[in-house]
Amino acid sequence: MKVMKFGGTSVGKPERMKEVAQLITKDNDRKIVVLSALSGTTNALVEISNHLANGDRSSAKQVIEKLHDHYQNFIQELLVTDVARNQAKGIINEHFEFLHIILRISFSEALNKDILAQGELMSTKLFSAFLEENNIDHVLLPALEFMTIDANEEPQLGSIKIKLAQLLKKHSDKNILITQGYICKNARGEVDNLKRGGSDYTASLIAAASKSAVCEIWTDIDGMHNNDPRIVNKTVAIEQLSFDEAAELAYFGAKILHPTCIWPAQQENVPVKLLNTMQPEAAGTVITKEAGSVGVKAVAAKDGIIAIKIKSSRMLLAYGFLRKVFEVFEKYKTSIDMITTSEVAVSVTIDTDQFLPQIVKELEPFGTVDIEKEQTIVSIVGNEIAKTDYVLQKLFESLKEIPITMVSYGGSTHNITLLVPSSHKIKTLQLLNSGLFGL
């Protein structure tokens, strides 16, 4: 068994979708094919939801109509026969009818999740219609029948395993099983999702649940690059990463992977491959238990970070101080990314301001609290990086002109983390590209 996940750009144009059909029929291995929504769809659905949340129905209607046109054109190019085109028209009309109905009912968070689910529901059904037209035997597995999250929004791997095994048994005569990425059911039994970019997470969860031989993530680039290719000109694909390195890069901003999508594959030791739909013969990146080589592999950046500094002379020689500080963050379910301490101060970073006023208020009795917003975490990742000669020297030499806010080093053997003002992010990534990689 293997998992093949295709992202938005891989299914975003009719000719791309046809290429996906070729890729999944290249061998006779049994496979679960996970699809994202057509590129641009989830963004449009978010826009519709936002308009409705603001009570702006006419703007929501405009976006719905534009999206509907896009899908009408898409099926004309994807399919050839009248029978298939009519079937596909029926599929999209049903989903757009739903979107028109929601214009008339009151907006809620549950409805928002229903709206966001339409993209993956449509892409999988349209792909299935294409396979049917081309006599490619397959079955559609509804993700909502097996992909679940608990009350803390954590995927329930145990139950996913059981439900998926039942479905795989039920369809034991099928070699190609298609399912939706991103969408799931929550603890209340409502439609929910695994957050933006969550189709990667779906793929990894399915790969772990079915103990697949490999989890292939097909996208629009030939693997994980050493730096953000959207920002830095010269970047190169990395041949091999360990699960830890890949998880770190994904969590700290490498957009190619969903932030938490590595752990399920890692837990069941399923290799993850990052491959390029537009260049299928490229080697891509292989992510396994072994790191392959020692040294710096890549840098990634995560925006929207807030630094909180708590200064107190009472911290001197006082035990229990850090516990009290951490308890505040725990109370507000806000996770801390970076932390540095000195004798009289502790600085931490968080990536959401949802409970910032409450957190600050509860920290104030401990000392002076300073907040710095609009910060970016820059993470330098590589196996045994902390032990590699000259990395720190090269790092700080190349960043002489950057006003670094925080540094975290030695917490793990494969990561050095810096905090810089977001206004210096581009320059930092560029300088590191030449300073650390000579590119």
- The Cα 434–Cα 260 span in angstroms is 29
- Minimum CB distance to ligand ASP smaller for 182 or for 437: 182
CB-facing half-sphere around the CA of 9: CA atoms within 13 A: 10
* Binds 198: which of ligand ADP, ligand ASP, Mg ion, none (CB < 5-8 Å by kind): ligand ASP
Question: In the bound complex, what is the minimum distance in angstroms from residue 250's beta carbon to Mg ion?
Answer: 10
Q: Which residues contact 295 (CB under 8 A, 6 or more apart)?
A: 382, 383, 384, 385, 388, 391
Give the residue with the Cβ less far from ligand ASP, 264 or 421.
Answer: 264
Span near ligand ASP by CB under 6 A; candidates 15-23, 34-42, 73-81, 205-213: 34-42
Using rule CB under 6 A, residue 264 touches ligand ASP: no
Sign of CA dihedral 73, 79, 83, 87: negative
- Tell me: does residue 198 bind ligand ASP (CB under 6 A): yes
- In terms of CB distance, is 114 or 200 closer to ligand ASP? 200
- Of the two residues 221 and 307, which places its CB atom closer to Mg ion in the complex? 221
* Candidate list 6, 8, 113, 178; residue touching ligand ASP; CB under 6 A: 8
What pairing do the DSSP bridges indicate for beta strands 240-242 and 285-288? parallel
Picked from ligand ASP, ligand ADP, Mg ion, none, the partner binding residue 9 (CB below 5 to 8 A depending on kind) is ligand ADP
- Vertex 57, ends 54 and 61: CA angle to 5°? 130
| CA distance linking residue 357 with residue 361, whole number of Å | 6
- Based on the shown chain and the rule CB under 6 A, indicate whether residue 181 belongs to the binding site for ligand ASP: yes
In the complex, which residues of this chain contact Mg ion (CB under 5 A)? 7, 197
Nearest to ligand ASP of 123, 210 (CB atom): 123
Cα Rg for the chain, rounded, in angstroms? 24
Establish if 87 lies at the interface with ligand ASP (CB under 6 A).
no
Q: Which is nearer to ligand ASP, 217 or 291 (CB)?
A: 217
Q: Does 199 bind ligand ASP (CB under 6 A)?
A: yes
Give residues with Cβ within 8 angstroms of 185, minimum separation 6: 144, 147, 148, 149, 191, 192
- The residues that touch ligand ADP, with contacts defined as CB under 6 A, are 7-10, 36, 197, 219-221, 224-225, 228-230, 254-256, 300
CA gap 148, 7 in Å, rounded: 21
Separation CA 97–CA 5 (nearest Å) = 28
Distance CA 182, CA 196 (A): 8
**Backbone angle region of 70, left / alpha / beta, with phi > 0 → left and psi within -120 to 50 → alpha:** alpha
Report in angstroms how near the CB of residue 287 gets to Mg ion at its nearest.
15
- Closer to Mg ion at the Cβ: 96 or 182? 182
Contact (Cβ atoms closer than 8 angstroms) between residue 257 and residue 266? no
Q: Among the residues of 37-178, which ranges form H helices?
A: 41-53, 57-78, 82-102, 109-133, 157-170
Q: Terminus-to-terminus CA distance in the chain, angstroms?
A: 39
Part of the chain binding ligand ASP (CB under 6 A), chosen from 191-199, 240-248, 280-288, 329-337? 191-199
Exactly one of 36, 49, 235, 285 binds ligand ASP (CB under 6 A); which one? Answer: 36
When CB distances are held under 5 to 8 angstroms depending on the partner's kind, the choice from ligand ADP, ligand ASP, Mg ion, none that residue 285 binds is none
Distance of closest approach, residue 303 Cβ to ligand ADP, in angstroms: 12
Q: With respect to Mg ion, which residue has the nearer C-beta, 14 or 197?
A: 197
Give me the residue label for tokens 């104030």: 364
Which residues, 13 to 32, sit near ligand ASP by CB under 6 A? none
Q: Which residues would be at the binding site for ligand ASP (CB under 6 A)?
A: 7-8, 36-37, 42, 119, 181-182, 196-200
